[in-house]
Structure 1
């Protein structure tokens, strides 16, 4: 091998990196502290690495101030180089040349460094800016050898010593570019060994330059992972991620236009299937394309045309005797470069190439999407053949599976999980109506409420007629008739002759209508004359997803259907992978993908639980939880609140005044045992009241309480309310009246719990009451001792934020943003909350700045301190919204601080919390599993299945009670505070033990949890007070031209000071 003697650039010694390979085939130079590259082909790395191949490529010698090209005798190096760059003086180190070089301007020596993942555009094409070294793939600067080598190791795809269930495979050598990328950043099987690698090297011919990583287009660059966590006990877990081997070829992208325009993805797919069946081996050149059901079609190679139009005929699904003609135009628009995806996975490109990921995702979805009997819903696929479960009122759940392609540290992985959702039962409409209203149709009398419920549930549902033999024509229900079938007439000819529906069906179809008291279905539309169909001749078409909100009973049944123990869920996932038969999938084969059938084995860590502090007056002042839980035995609340003035109202017919008084006595006893000051006698005797007089009773009773306390100049502290078990909107109405009108915190108790009054229930209620009156239940012992990393060093405020959206079908209701923030430091246990309405289904918090200022002022007022650090946990943001949310909300936070003071600029860490994902972790050793079979609380994962370069981790912070635990996913989008991995993971985990409502650790960090609760509390204000809601200028409602947002009642001053939402 020839060597490169580089001129010294800047202060660093030059020296190209010889390319060495470890046992996984990772490309990466090995350097000593002088920046010398290892050029020896028989170099052997530290155990357990195998011998690596030496560097290849042409080489140079620096001659004083000029670089002189020298011919490399290595016959494999076919890369032509121009004259070498000038050096400021002779370099002293030498090493093999890496596979790609850029050239510095004259006068700046070639100083090699790890490439910036968000580089500035060069000032001249093909040149780096003056004073900077040329960027070389996997080359590092000798000037900054130690830290940059550490970064290099950090941001490669993680390859640990975990005994994998599978080994990553090196992409097949199908193109020079993809070969070079695979050698540089991919991974190879251990079986290939040195001989296999050298075989690949011999095939490698660098006839063109490797593409440079594209410049990042992100407005904000997310923080890179600062390292891998080390704290905690190492444990092994399996994850439902399955490695995908990438193809070597580019994917060709085509735009699809179907005329006449079709809104149904299913119809679009049927049109495309018919086209492929007719033209695959002629006009399509034998290609087997995949289609997203809208505008994008992809092929594994180019089609024989740039643009072409096709005519397709399709049978009309609404009428078996009709056919529909379509014109399909396919036009080439570009290609999705897989090499950019490989570079991103290797940590060499800042932005994920979404076009390539989307294309490959469509490839893996094509087979189930085009299979009969399978209903695609988002990224999930459902079928009644996978399993059904009755939900009640005419609904049933269908089982299915979820799959999504994800870029991870180990490469591209397919995340597969079990899923269920609600479908409308495929039964006669009469049977559905009977189940919906719970009445026998033979002697039915429908009330106005029944008719409203039927109309709401049937509108938009597709039905097929059964009274015309084999002709099963389909219709979509647009509404119900105002009259019952027996009174319904319609014009039967051009003269407008009216005929009764019952007579028409008897005369034309020989069908005597049985349920004449029921209304008919209206299946017409505005452009046609009315079209009436009796319910008894219509059957609901199979496979229609129920898109509206489930009631409480249906939700409970759906949870029962989806609840699986971890061992059963993992078995179901593995069966799904087996049944999907990816190796036999013609589309997967066409595009050269390979999907592993083994889950990913990961070396996780088990973080230690925090030490919790309780009041010194208790027998046990400190507590270390075990398996995510503890109890209040021998403990006193760290700061017990005071309830001096309280009263009780029962709205339950089963609980009279005396029973309510008995319950309150037991509750007061428990509060005092827990460490609160709770007066034994109420200021007013308990009473029983009718639920239909709710507002009247609440306001009159409050005035009586105020009058009784007038001589003391005090106000009531607490109202205890007994509610019926099934209370409808009673709870929501009560909270709205008390918290936004009367200015009083309440504690509601269901009848079934009041009658039992178990000690465990009373203890939990005491925890809620304590924080509602300003107390604190427990705090982190390390916080008291100022030993919490980052947080204890400076006054710190922790925020939580969430946005809740109205359920499907409610197009006029606003979304609601809620923000909570801590009020105490260094303990960080008390959170104040506020909320704002905003435009329908808008995720960005439009009034975040105002809410942040409100919380910063409250923190300063409570602590007499100005927070110097902000930690912001943001819930409810999907990955596709990261940039948009960060760009707006970080700006809003900074602007809010500046508006308080020009000189006020606290450091900010912004973390997204995600629970709506499908990653599951399964224990491999029963010693590290809880009684439910789930991974133990504190299990954290930041390798393999996490982002290739960004700062994220999965944390299971709670103990599983039933089903399979879902870890929370935390993704850092901004970090001025400079957290290291262990600090942020431990802080987040510790905070999960400070949730006020129970003595268990919770699944997401409490400030995000509290924000979620406040947003739903505000939603209940809107639902309960919808008739009185006003409209004020704001953002546009979905689907309407009006730019208004329904306003919410504001919290009263005393309520907003405490944790009223617990």
Structure 2
């Protein structure tokens, strides 16, 4: 590996289509800088082994794609302000403790290693995808599964390449006529029906199609990007030709000797708005290998998980198979830069934390086994306003899969189970069929009901409709259950899961960590924060902030705040008002402010840690100063979006051979300049367990690493929805639920006003939030 390489800026004009960039750059190097070796990132950066004698090189090149389309580009490369990139820093960073140099070197290494993969796979993010070797894997709705090799260079005890298998849905390579008949059951002999046209347009918009001209045209196939699907068929859709004559698409093809087979079928619209191209559907097929940025549907996610959920041994085998396929070490550029990727995974030392003791009513304690436990009577239940108990009802709409006898059975079993657990539900309750769930909720609010169990119908009224009306307007506590779930039978597990939520909503506490196994703090407040962003194809929708904070001493009872903010913005804008609200609630409950604030922040990318410290922790400190107290703040970033996996060397008792719950890694693979550790706190239900990475960015309390890890592990046992450890701490998990609830509040018509105005229109009923702060679980 050379000690130094050189970083250059690359400028390519025109700036599209980008699929030509790599070929154009390679042609430029061949024509103008023959003999020089360059690693190009496909955009604006390249790295050379030697410093060029001139500061700027420029020239024109012409490249041709697989379909015969040619493009001319002007390319210039110019040395950056500080071109020298010290690769030798990757050997010396431990001694020098300077981390900007190795970070620049790592960026160069990633570009070089990626070069080995571009010819063999389709890039999306840091992964390179190919079709699975075992053949076609249908995900439904016109999508198929591709598997990819994820790779990222990281700093640990030494530089490592983090590799993993990744999975992504790609549009299936299929003719558009086959897609219409097989996926949408369309009749090709006539214009598409409104619903079919909408679904077809939703699938096709933004995709690329291959247009295969009739053989008589003597033209090569060509790729076009779909703007939309025309409303009219080829027999009616008209345009003005080069001679100024108006003609239909059908007439144009007939004039060139080709009679359309489906003249009434709609057309693909591509090109510009001023000069659109109309392509008959029968002559188009979906281009293969398109990595699109869309949110997968429920069906795709379910089938993908079924394929991807494998044991650690199988996952490891698949990763090694991908490494063999891409074979970085044989790539000429990788070798020219003196790099090589090892053939074995590294071995890391682990520690296994003991699970905490879970305490229930009457000081009964239970010790979890493999991350789960059987619960006893709830630690605490809410005090019902009436002596007869909480006033409650079950409402549902008429359905062929729901019989009244099933609802009566559900009512009886739910009441009996609640009584056994100590929840004081009234023996008298309504089980009512209604044609209008929303109106019935308003009626029950007027009649002062405490809880309404709503059976969500398969169609019609949605979960969002119910929660918007109940929580924003009425101020009525609801517990939803899908009619499909109920129709499968009333099992004890179903009732238990429902009552865990119901007790929390009715101001109860399900369980707590026994003080004998907890990190006991003086008046702590546990905060969790998350920001959820819309998918890349929905950037017009705002990001939603969710912040949950405890108001008891056990970290079991929480209140919430949500906000709407600019799409994709990661740092929380309104943190001052959010933290002010949470601190005031804490003061109301405890008659003092917290001495410790433990802040778990989810949803932050690695480059944003400094912003979290500057803006969010700065806002919390400003509010504390305003309220005249100085707590010790500890901020721990919760990182789930990474590709580190642990494969046990010795077989474990886990059915997927995962490491056991409580496994911690804090050596070798952690960043040398950060307080960081990995933890698997949960038992994976299916597939290889994903560890959560924790970065401690602020620690006023100066906790030891053991204390931080034990406290974090314990909090994973405090999620109120289940009697098992979850994959990250309850405050962060609850913040995720808050953000998800905020997204429910904005479902429906598009938002047209400013975000502050839209938020004000969706304020949660104040009395409701004060009286039942855990309504969101």
TM class by shorter chain equals over 0.9
For residues 180 and 557 of structure 2, the distance between their equivalents in structure 1, rounded to whole angstroms, comes to 49
> Can you list the C-alpha shifts for 1:215-248, whole angstroms capped at 9, x where unaligned?
xxxxxxxxxxxxxxxxxxxxxxxxxxxxxxxx24
Retained in 1: the 8 A contact 2:666–2:678?
yes
For residues 763 and 444 of structure 1, the distance between their equivalents in structure 2, rounded to whole angstroms, comes to 53
Q: CA deviation at 1:962?
A: 0.6
Q: Does residue 523 of structure 2 align to residue 523 of structure 1?
A: no
Change (3 A) 1:263 1:849: farther
Residue in structure 1 matched with residue 464 of structure 2 by the alignment: 732
Alignment of structure 1 residues 148-297 onto 2, 5 Å: 247-262=1-16, 264=18, 266-279=19-32, 283-284=33-34, 286-297=35-46
Q: CA deviation at 1:249?
A: 1.5
Residue in structure 1 matched with residue 523 of structure 2 by the alignment: 795
Residue in structure 1 matched with residue 765 of structure 2 by the alignment: 1052
Residue in structure 2 matched with residue 106 of structure 1 by the alignment: none
Q: CA deviation at 1:630?
A: 0.9
Residue in structure 1 matched with residue 572 of structure 2 by the alignment: 845
Change (3 A) 1:919 1:626: same
1:584 aligned residue (311, 330, 334) = 330
Retained in 1: the 8 A contact 2:565–2:755?
no
Retained in 1: the 8 A contact 2:235–2:251?
no
Residue in structure 2 matched with residue 836 of structure 1 by the alignment: 563
1:486 aligned residue (230, 235, 254) = 235
Alignment of structure 1 residues 76-91 onto 2, 5 Å: none
Q: Does residue 441 of structure 2 align to residue 698 of structure 1?
A: yes
For residues 366 and 919 of structure 1, the distance between their equivalents in structure 2, rounded to whole angstroms, comes to 22
For residues 546 and 311 of structure 1, the distance between their equivalents in structure 2, rounded to whole angstroms, comes to 30
Q: CA deviation at 1:550?
A: 2.0
Q: CA deviation at 1:303?
A: 3.3
1:547 aligned residue (284, 293, 298) = 293
For residues 605 and 276 of structure 1, the distance between their equivalents in structure 2, rounded to whole angstroms, comes to 51
Other structure's SS at 1:531 match? strand
Retained in 1: the 8 A contact 2:645–2:690?
yes
Retained in 1: the 8 A contact 2:356–2:714?
yes
Residue in structure 2 matched with residue 406 of structure 1 by the alignment: 154
1:947 aligned residue (666, 671, 676) = 671
Q: CA deviation at 1:1047?
A: 5.7
Q: Does residue 673 of structure 2 align to residue 960 of structure 1?
A: no
Q: CA deviation at 1:429?
A: 1.6
Residue in structure 2 matched with residue 1032 of structure 1 by the alignment: 754
Change (3 A) 1:746 1:542: same
Q: CA deviation at 1:808?
A: 2.1
Change (3 A) 1:1050 1:303: same
Other structure's SS at 1:597 match? coil
Residue in structure 2 matched with residue 919 of structure 1 by the alignment: 644
Q: CA deviation at 1:729?
A: 6.4
For residues 831 and 673 of structure 1, the distance between their equivalents in structure 2, rounded to whole angstroms, comes to 25
Residue in structure 2 matched with residue 812 of structure 1 by the alignment: 540
Residue in structure 2 matched with residue 614 of structure 1 by the alignment: 360
> Can you list the C-alpha shifts for 1:555-582, whole angstroms capped at 9, x where unaligned?
2112223222211001111222233323
Q: CA deviation at 1:451?
A: 2.1
Residue in structure 2 matched with residue 983 of structure 1 by the alignment: 707
Other structure's SS at 2:708 match? helix
Residue in structure 1 matched with residue 107 of structure 2 by the alignment: 358
Residue in structure 1 matched with residue 590 of structure 2 by the alignment: 863
Q: CA deviation at 1:351?
A: 4.5
Residue in structure 1 matched with residue 508 of structure 2 by the alignment: 775
For residues 352 and 647 of structure 1, the distance between their equivalents in structure 2, rounded to whole angstroms, comes to 64
For residues 208 and 714 of structure 2, the distance between their equivalents in structure 1, rounded to whole angstroms, comes to 51
Change (3 A) 1:966 1:975: same
Structure 1 unmatched runs, 5+: 1-246, 707-714, 1035-1043
Retained in 2: the 8 A contact 1:849–1:892?
yes
Q: CA deviation at 1:302?
A: 2.4
Q: Does residue 419 of structure 2 align to residue 686 of structure 1?
A: no
Residue in structure 1 matched with residue 252 of structure 2 by the alignment: 504
Retained in 2: the 8 A contact 1:487–1:500?
yes
Other structure's SS at 1:853 match? helix
2:495 aligned residue (740, 751, 762) = 762
For residues 1047 and 857 of structure 1, the distance between their equivalents in structure 2, rounded to whole angstroms, comes to 21
Residue in structure 1 matched with residue 776 of structure 2 by the alignment: 1061
Structure 2 unmatched runs, 5+: none
> Can you list the C-alpha shifts for 1:979-1018, whole angstroms capped at 9, x where unaligned?
1110000010011111111111000111101111110111
Q: CA deviation at 1:597?
A: 0.9
Other structure's SS at 2:288 match? coil
For residues 759 and 161 of structure 2, the distance between their equivalents in structure 1, rounded to whole angstroms, comes to 42
Residue in structure 1 matched with residue 377 of structure 2 by the alignment: 636
For residues 1055 and 447 of structure 1, the distance between their equivalents in structure 2, rounded to whole angstroms, comes to 46
Change (3 A) 1:832 1:668: same
> Can you list the C-alpha shifts for 1:437-476, whole angstroms capped at 9, x where unaligned?
x314346774433322222221222112123336102221
Q: Does residue 336 of structure 2 align to residue 336 of structure 1?
A: no
Q: CA deviation at 1:701?
A: 4.0
For residues 94 and 264 of structure 2, the distance between their equivalents in structure 1, rounded to whole angstroms, comes to 65
> Can you list the C-alpha shifts for 1:403-425, whole angstroms capped at 9, x where unaligned?
000011x2000000001111111
Change (3 A) 1:385 1:770: closer
Residue in structure 1 matched with residue 736 of structure 2 by the alignment: 1012
Q: CA deviation at 1:659?
A: 3.0
Q: Does residue 270 of structure 2 align to residue 533 of structure 1?
A: no
Q: CA deviation at 1:489?
A: 2.4
Q: CA deviation at 1:800?
A: 0.1
Change (3 A) 1:471 1:248: closer
Normalising by structure 2, we get a TM-score of: 0.94
Residue in structure 1 matched with residue 137 of structure 2 by the alignment: 389
Q: CA deviation at 1:1030?
A: 5.6
Change (3 A) 1:923 1:581: same
> Can you list the C-alpha shifts for 1:76-119, whole angstroms capped at 9, x where unaligned?
xxxxxxxxxxxxxxxxxxxxxxxxxxxxxxxxxxxxxxxxxxxx
Retained in 2: the 8 A contact 1:513–1:534?
no
Other structure's SS at 2:349 match? strand
Residue in structure 2 matched with residue 908 of structure 1 by the alignment: 633
For residues 591 and 415 of structure 1, the distance between their equivalents in structure 2, rounded to whole angstroms, comes to 19
Q: Does residue 381 of structure 2 align to residue 627 of structure 1?
A: no
For residues 160 and 701 of structure 2, the distance between their equivalents in structure 1, rounded to whole angstroms, comes to 32
Q: CA deviation at 1:493?
A: 4.6
> Can you list the C-alpha shifts for 1:478-535, whole angstroms capped at 9, x where unaligned?
122222233222223534x332322322331423332x3432111231232x321111
RMSD between aligned alpha carbons?
Answer: 2.1
Q: CA deviation at 1:391?
A: 1.3
Residue in structure 1 matched with residue 344 of structure 2 by the alignment: 598
Q: How many residues align?
A: 762
Retained in 1: the 8 A contact 2:352–2:664?
yes
Mean CA deviation greater in 441-450 or 972-981: 441-450
Retained in 2: the 8 A contact 1:645–1:679?
yes
Other structure's SS at 1:272 match? helix
Residue in structure 1 matched with residue 723 of structure 2 by the alignment: 999
> Can you list the C-alpha shifts for 1:932-963, whole angstroms capped at 9, x where unaligned?
21110000000001111310100000001111
For residues 403 and 452 of structure 2, the distance between their equivalents in structure 1, rounded to whole angstroms, comes to 16
Change (3 A) 1:989 1:816: same
1:891 aligned residue (603, 608, 618) = 618
> Can you list the C-alpha shifts for 1:770-818, whole angstroms capped at 9, x where unaligned?
0011001000111xx6x733xx342110100000111222232111111
Retained in 1: the 8 A contact 2:123–2:291?
no
Other structure's SS at 1:1031 match? coil
Q: Does residue 487 of structure 2 align to residue 750 of structure 1?
A: no
Larger Rg: 1
Change (3 A) 1:346 1:671: farther
